Structure 1
Amino acid sequence: MATRRRTGVSWSVMGGQKQRSCPDGHSRCPEHEPGVRRFGRGALRIAAWTLVSRVLGLVRDRFMVGLFGRGMEFGAFSLAWTVPNVFRRLLGEGALTAAFVPVLTRRIDSEGIEGARRSFAAIVGGLTALLLIIVGGLLCLLGLIPVEWFASNAGGDERYPQLLRSLLFILLPYLIPVSLMTLSAAAQNVTGRFALPAAAPALLNAVWIAGVVWAGTGEADADQRVILVGIVVLCGGFLQLLLQLPGLVQSGLLVCPRLALADPDLREIVRTMAPIVLGLSVVQLNVLATQFLAAFLVDPGAPGVLYLGNRLLEFPHALLGVALGTAVFPLLTLLGSRDDHVELARILRRTLANGLFLAIPAAAGLFVMAPWLAEVLFVTGRFSAEAGSETTVVTRIMCLGLPGLIAVQLLARAFYAMGDLRTPVRIAVVLLVVVQGINIGLAPVLGTAGLACSSAVGANANALLLFFLLRPRLGPAEGGALAGTLLRSVLATVPTAIVALALVTWLGGMFPVGTSLALRLPLVLVVPGAAGVVTFLVTARLLGATELAELRRARK
């Protein structure tokens, strides 16, 4: 990063782009606004690619349930797929990113791109070694566990234990390429490049769809088909990693990994990761335990239903929470490293307000349209109408936790940026006990609906606890501004939900099940959704919502 002075303003070149800051380092100066706008543009790029990925993901899920139905094959695949993804969120997207971004940002700031290259090479080498140890250890442990231990207490086909273990053997190595891809994506985000990292999930979904189509064309049985899909998905993970190479070249960070355990940046990352890993491990243990309880307390196909509910929930979650959190974290980290907590609180409030302003209508829209989403997207082939109704119930319960999920993405990153790593850990430990208690109590009675309830309760409780512990640092004015945002969003959401419900009910009756999907999808889902968006924007404008202006500025 090159720096020079001109007219009292510091100019920085990072990732080929100029940034300005005040002479005194205070980032709220108007001269600093290009940096804020860059994060806004980054969030929009991430959101755009995330939208493409989520659409492809829904297509992929439709193909999967059409081929396998609500059976043990889809349930076993969903459960096996959860395991590497839990470790991915733990290492690749959570602790590693939170620890790595500040280190690389500081290295670029102090030594330029050459210093960053040396640091990045050591970090990549250390992560690769760690991943090989973890995956190798898990595979060895998996081979030692008796296959009978994988049997469901709720009954099911005797082939289920062996199928589940085979899928775990295939999908566990996915952790290696996806974690390295996430590290490469974080490095590109620091240098202001967001497109290729955000496009990686879309590539995986395209490969996955091709794999399902391929598996469905042969004469193989259901077990062989789902194993073939698992192999294709593993190959897609490595293609995701290869996609990042051009972005690393443009960033000047394409390096040959080196194993340098004494590297100071690597050691700092390990020290920083330790408490974050503890906190995230508790959160991810909740996710993994919920899926296993679904298989062993409900039935072997239940993890598939929870998976589909989560997939519908992830659509707005990724567009809002993940996109905003990923894009704003480097800026929060920079402000935290300068001890500029006043500006950090301002940026956080703006981002949190915008996220929650959109989260409430998104949750309401998902709640209203869940029956038609499940019916149009998933009720096909071997996936019955009864399974679609079960998916609707799960989705509606889960979407009640959407505002909490989006808020947690931002609030947890604010704690990390300010160097407070313990608070999210303590909250996660408390919620582990609460959520799993709800699971054990409700799963035998309510089935998948009880497990979905625990997810919603946990998400909102996490957000509330983080917010109230962070509020003293935000200041009372910031808290009051958020309350106003929530009120305006709720008032604008009421007519939005009414319009969407009326249209989807009317059009759903005019184009019932059996109508061509090419006709039914845009008319029954897209038209009511678009009408709901327009209604929300018009109502919010009439209410004088300042958040609309904030969102427009983020596009510039």
Structure 2
Amino acid sequence: MRPLTPAVGGTKALRIPAVPPQPRRVTKPVPAHTRTTGQEPPRSSNRFLARAALLTAVLAAAGALLGLGRDQALAHLFGAGSETDAFLVAWTVPEVASTLLIEDGLAFVLVPAFSAALARRSAATTAPDPVRALVATSLPRLALACLAAALLLMLGAPQLVALLAPGLPDPQLAVDCTRLTATCVLTFGLTGYCSAALRAHSSYLAPAAIYLAYNIGIITTMLVFADRWGVRSAAVGVAVGGCLMVAIQAPSLRRRLVSAPYVQPSANSGNSENPASEPVKDRSMNLLLIAAVLLFALCRQSQVLIERFLASSLPAGAISHLNYAQKVAQLPMVLSLMLATVTFPVVARAMARGDLERARERVERDLAAAACIVLLGAAAVFACAPQIIQLLFQRGAFTAQDTAATAAVMRVYALGLLGHCLVGVLVRSYFSAGRPTWYPVLSMAAGMTATAGVGAFAVGPWGVQGIAAANALGITLTAVLLLAAMGTRGIPVRIPKVLLELAKPLLAAVCATAVGLVCAARVEQPLAAAAVGFAAVGAVFLLLLWALRAQALLPAVQTATRKLRHAR
């Protein structure tokens, strides 16, 4: 019924329709990333991160397979003798350069710097574009520093070879190859700069494809010029591949820098009611941060230098066996770190905005997921090591004795894969805030010292297997030290929860390895044996993860269950 107005003075009341009460409008604070700043919202949703991680993993796997093809071509053309050993000493330069300038060192400095610059651009708190200002000040300096370092390496190549491998039978060949590979210091520096900037912009296609271009350049150069230049053709291929890595990324970065719009600061850009809109601190690069990051990366890569130094006194082929075993064994570790590579800008952006809770949750998820991936791969590598090496390398100058020696070393390397994976994830959290910290350097130095000490003791009685065991022990020690101090020095993850989630895939990997060993040994043909072993390892591992209710597996199980219900 419609309400009536009360009668006045005995007259009949007029019927006036009542106006329904209007709901009260509540104005919600607008997140900083959705304001009109000319920028897209940050692509940090789980769905986008999953797609980006999948794309990165697929391209990284393709690059890794081409890397195996590169190693196969090297083994087929030059075997595992003194000529290959000489090139692998020179190969130390691109290995160290990739760690310092692409994968770990430079990325730990540049990704937080670009993430903070993008956050300041989104908050619109400064008039000049922070991203373009960062590029204008940092890129020319980096290029000049890398060019100077490359020239110094070329000049000091004889001294470097004598330091790395004093027992080489042909040091001049190693010197020639070192001077050719020294060009990668400049190209890798530019490659790492482009990769970090693009990932901070949530662009992952070009950075993920760099090793495809790199290995294509090396393989093509070797196949074309091997007869004319010998193993030096592989060193020339490193120079060619480095140029291709820059060429594949430079256009994408240029488009983002040139076409990025920018809006002048708005009056409400400092709205304190919304935490996301609080002013973002300027976390530009500084010398202490760069020094800490580069020292950490150098200490980590020094494990390889220690291995080759110790192996140079062993019979010819020892360095080659270590190299091939390490390249294959580390494939699971490389794939496991793809998720951390994708989410590192997300963690850095959260730290730049002071969102510690989101950063902690992201790191805990990354640790659990990366551990599952690397332990599944480690179990498969350990169970099927002889078959893998035989299928990949046993042809041409690579003999059955080389296969047996390489497979034995690869099984020892597999014991340290979890340590390598944890170090890769944890150190990103230490440097994600863009502030200098020396604890990761000290932890890595402790691991390097353990590798050197144990390796010097074990190389006599156990040869190359003793060197690989020292590597596994040293990197595991570093992982333990980094994880133990996360609560006080890094992002405060819940260590008991992390250890529980790490124990589940570790137990599953041990059981899966035992089953895989038995199944692979029952088949004689190597391809069939590897297939049976892989299937057994995968089935047992996933079944045990499901039974143990591993958190890293639950999202995939829930998604599959939901899709099955919809399918019905």
Band of TM-score, shorter chain: 0.7 to 0.9
The aligned counterpart of 1:88 is: 98
User: What pairs up with 1:217-366 in 2 under 5 angstroms?
Assistant: 218=227, 220=228, 224-252=229-257, 268-295=285-312, 297-321=313-337, 323-366=338-381
The aligned counterpart of 1:28 is: none
- Given that 1:120 and 1:253 are in contact with CA atoms closer than 8 Å, whether structure 2 keeps it comes out as no
- Displacement after TM superposition at 1:526 (Å): 4.1
Asked if 1:469 corresponds to 2:485, the answer is yes
- Displacement after TM superposition at 1:17 (Å): 4.0
The aligned counterpart of 2:41 is: 18
- Answer with 99-108 or 203-212: which moved more: 203-212
- Given that 1:90 and 1:277 are in contact with CA atoms closer than 8 Å, whether structure 2 keeps it comes out as yes
User: What pairs up with 1:31-110 in 2 under 5 angstroms?
Assistant: 34-110=44-120
- Displacement after TM superposition at 1:82 (Å): 1.2
- Displacement after TM superposition at 1:531 (Å): 4.5
The aligned counterpart of 1:23 is: none
Asked if 1:505 corresponds to 2:534, the answer is no
Letter in 1 for 2:297: L
Distance, in Å, in 1 between the alignment partners of 2:88 and 2:368 is 34
The one-character-per-residue Cα deviations of 1:414-452 (angstroms, maximum 9, x if unpaired) are: 111244611111112222322211122222332211211
- Given that 2:363 and 2:493 are in contact with CA atoms closer than 8 Å, whether structure 1 keeps it comes out as no
The one-character-per-residue Cα deviations of 1:206-226 (angstroms, maximum 9, x if unpaired) are: 22222332245x4x4xxx311
Asked if 1:428 corresponds to 2:439, the answer is no
- Given that 1:427 and 1:462 are in contact with CA atoms closer than 8 Å, whether structure 2 keeps it comes out as yes
Using a 3 Å threshold, how does the CA distance of structure 1 residues 445 and 336 change in structure 2: closer, same or farther? Answer: same
> Which of 1 and 2 has higher RCO (CA within 8 Å, sep 6+)?
1
Distance, in Å, in 2 between the alignment partners of 1:436 and 1:428 is 12
Asked if 1:119 corresponds to 2:150, the answer is no
The aligned counterpart of 2:182 is: 172
Give the alignment partner of residue 388 of structure 1, picking from 381, 403, 410. 403
User: What pairs up with 1:377-416 in 2 under 5 angstroms?
Assistant: 377-416=392-431
Asked if 1:135 corresponds to 2:166, the answer is no
Calculate the TM-score normalised by the size of structure 2: 0.82
SS in 2 for 1:244: helix
- Displacement after TM superposition at 1:9 (Å): 3.9
Distance, in Å, in 1 between the alignment partners of 2:344 and 2:399 is 42
- Displacement after TM superposition at 1:250 (Å): 4.0
Letter in 2 for 1:10: P
- Given that 2:56 and 2:205 are in contact with CA atoms closer than 8 Å, whether structure 1 keeps it comes out as yes
The one-character-per-residue Cα deviations of 1:495-537 (angstroms, maximum 9, x if unpaired) are: 5334433443333x1x26xxxxxxx3xx343453245324432
Using a 3 Å threshold, how does the CA distance of structure 1 residues 341 and 111 change in structure 2: closer, same or farther? Answer: closer
The aligned counterpart of 1:25 is: none
The aligned counterpart of 1:31 is: none
Using a 3 Å threshold, how does the CA distance of structure 1 residues 68 and 39 change in structure 2: closer, same or farther? Answer: same
Distance, in Å, in 2 between the alignment partners of 1:94 and 1:318 is 12
SS in 1 for 2:41: strand
Distance, in Å, in 2 between the alignment partners of 1:69 and 1:161 is 18
Distance, in Å, in 2 between the alignment partners of 1:148 and 1:349 is 44
The aligned counterpart of 2:274 is: none
Asked if 1:459 corresponds to 2:475, the answer is yes
- Answer with 125-134 or 55-64: which moved more: 55-64
Distance, in Å, in 1 between the alignment partners of 2:164 and 2:490 is 48
The aligned counterpart of 1:367 is: 382
Letter in 2 for 1:228: S
Using a 3 Å threshold, how does the CA distance of structure 1 residues 538 and 17 change in structure 2: closer, same or farther? Answer: farther
Using a 3 Å threshold, how does the CA distance of structure 1 residues 79 and 553 change in structure 2: closer, same or farther? Answer: farther
Give the alignment partner of residue 193 of structure 1, picking from 184, 203, 226. 203
- Displacement after TM superposition at 1:298 (Å): 1.5
- Displacement after TM superposition at 1:204 (Å): 1.6
* Structure 2: tracts of 5 or more residues without a match: 1-25, 123-127, 261-280, 564-568
Distance, in Å, in 1 between the alignment partners of 2:424 and 2:164 is 33
Letter in 2 for 1:212: M
The structure carrying a bigger helix percent of its residues is 1
The aligned counterpart of 1:516 is: none
SS in 1 for 2:494: helix
The aligned counterpart of 1:542 is: 547
Distance, in Å, in 2 between the alignment partners of 1:491 and 1:551 is 20
- Answer with 286-295 or 524-533: which moved more: 524-533
Letter in 2 for 1:304: S
Distance, in Å, in 1 between the alignment partners of 2:91 and 2:514 is 37
- Given that 2:368 and 2:552 are in contact with CA atoms closer than 8 Å, whether structure 1 keeps it comes out as yes
User: What pairs up with 1:140-155 in 2 under 5 angstroms?
Assistant: 140-142=155-157, 145=159, 152-153=166-167
Distance, in Å, in 1 between the alignment partners of 2:27 and 2:192 is 37
Letter in 2 for 1:210: T
- Displacement after TM superposition at 1:282 (Å): 2.3
- Displacement after TM superposition at 1:152 (Å): 4.3
Distance, in Å, in 2 between the alignment partners of 1:552 and 1:315 is 25
- Displacement after TM superposition at 1:238 (Å): 0.2
Give the alignment partner of residue 509 of structure 2, picking from 493, 505, 515. 493
Using a 3 Å threshold, how does the CA distance of structure 1 residues 552 and 202 change in structure 2: closer, same or farther? Answer: farther
- Given that 1:367 and 1:395 are in contact with CA atoms closer than 8 Å, whether structure 2 keeps it comes out as yes
Distance, in Å, in 2 between the alignment partners of 1:254 and 1:169 is 39
Using a 3 Å threshold, how does the CA distance of structure 1 residues 473 and 345 change in structure 2: closer, same or farther? Answer: farther
- Displacement after TM superposition at 1:371 (Å): 1.1
The one-character-per-residue Cα deviations of 1:163-191 (angstroms, maximum 9, x if unpaired) are: 11111011111121122111101111011
The aligned counterpart of 1:214 is: 224
Which of 1 and 2 has greater Rg? Answer: 2
- Given that 2:214 and 2:244 are in contact with CA atoms closer than 8 Å, whether structure 1 keeps it comes out as yes
- Displacement after TM superposition at 1:120 (Å): 1.2
Count of residues in Structure 1 that have an aligned counterpart in Structure 2: 508
User: What pairs up with 1:506-525 in 2 under 5 angstroms?
Assistant: 506-507=522-523, 509=524, 511=525, 520=527, 523-525=528-530
Letter in 2 for 1:333: A
The one-character-per-residue Cα deviations of 1:352-410 (angstroms, maximum 9, x if unpaired) are: 01111232222121111111111111111111111111111111111100011111111
Asked if 1:161 corresponds to 2:154, the answer is no
